[in-house]
Amino acid sequence: MTLPYAFEKQVALVAVRRACALTSSVFNRLVKNETLTKGDKSPVTVGDYSAQAVVNTILGRAFPADPIVGEEDAAEMRQESNSELKNRIIALANEALTAPLGPGETSDLGLGPGQERTPEELMDAIDRGGDQGGRTGRRWTLDPIDGTKGFLRGGQYAVCLALIVDGKVVLGLIGCPNLPVKSDEPNGRKGCIFVVVKGQGAEQVTLSGDRSVPLTIPPVVPGTLNFLESVEAAHADLAFNNRISELLNITRAPARMDSQAKYGCLARGDGGVYLRMPTGTGYREKIWDHASGSLLVEECGGIITDSRGKSLDFGLGRSLGENYGFIAAGKDVHGQVLAAVQQALAEIGRK
Ligand SMILES: Nc1ncnc2c1ncn2[C@@H]1O[C@H](COP(=O)(O)O)[C@@H](O)[C@H]1OP(=O)(O)O
Ligand SMILES: [Mg+2]
Ligand SMILES: [Mg+2]
Ligand SMILES: [Mg+2]
- φ, ψ at 98 (rounded to 5°): -100, 5
Q: How confident is the model at residue 159 (pLDDT cuts 50, 70, 90)?
A: very high
CATH number at residue 341: 3.40.190.80
229 in Cβ contact with 262 (< 8 Å): yes
Q: Are residues 122 and 235 in the same domain?
A: no
Q: Are residues 246 and 160 in the same domain?
A: no
Of ligand 1's listed atoms, the one at least distance from the Cα of 151 is: 27
Catalytic residues: 48, 148
Structural domain for 110, as ranges: 6-215
Q: How confident is the model at residue 209 (pLDDT cuts 50, 70, 90)?
A: confident
Neighbours of ion ligand 3 (CB under 5 A): 143, 146, 289
Q: How confident is the model at residue 35 (pLDDT cuts 50, 70, 90)?
A: confident
Does 205 score more than 80 pLDDT? yes
Does 30 score more than 80 pLDDT? no
Atom 6, ligand 1: which residue's CA is nearest?
Answer: 235
pLDDT tens-digit series, residues 96-148: 999 999 977 998 999 999 999 999 999 999 999 999 999 999 999 999 999 99
pLDDT tens-digit series, residues 270-303: 999 999 999 988 899 999 999 999 999 999 999 9
Of ligand 1's listed atoms, the one at least distance from the Cα of 286 is: 21
Q: What percentage of the chain reaches a pLDDT higher than 90?
A: 89
pTM value > 0.95? yes
Of ligand 1's listed atoms, the one at least distance from the Cα of 258 is: 19
Residue 153 lies in a domain: yes
Q: Are residues 342 and 249 in the same domain?
A: yes
- φ, ψ at 220 (rounded to 5°): -80, 130
pLDDT tens-digit series, residues 36-93: 888 888 888 999 999 999 999 999 999 999 999 999 999 999 999 999 999 999 999 9
260 in Cβ contact with 146 (< 8 Å): yes
Domain end position, chosen among 159, 181, 215: 215
Whether ligand 1 lies within 6 angstroms of the CB of 233 is answered as no
pLDDT tens-digit series, residues 306-331: 999 999 999 999 999 888 899 999 99
Cα–Cα distance, 271 to 292 (Å, whole number): 18
Whether ligand 1 lies within 6 angstroms of the CB of 332 is answered as no
Average pLDDT, integer, range 144-171: 97
Q: Are residues 152 and 245 in the same domain?
A: no
Residue 42 lies in a domain: yes
Q: What confidence score (pLDDT) does residue 31 get?
A: 72
Pocket test for ligand 1, best of 235, 276, 277 (most atoms within 8 A of CB): 235
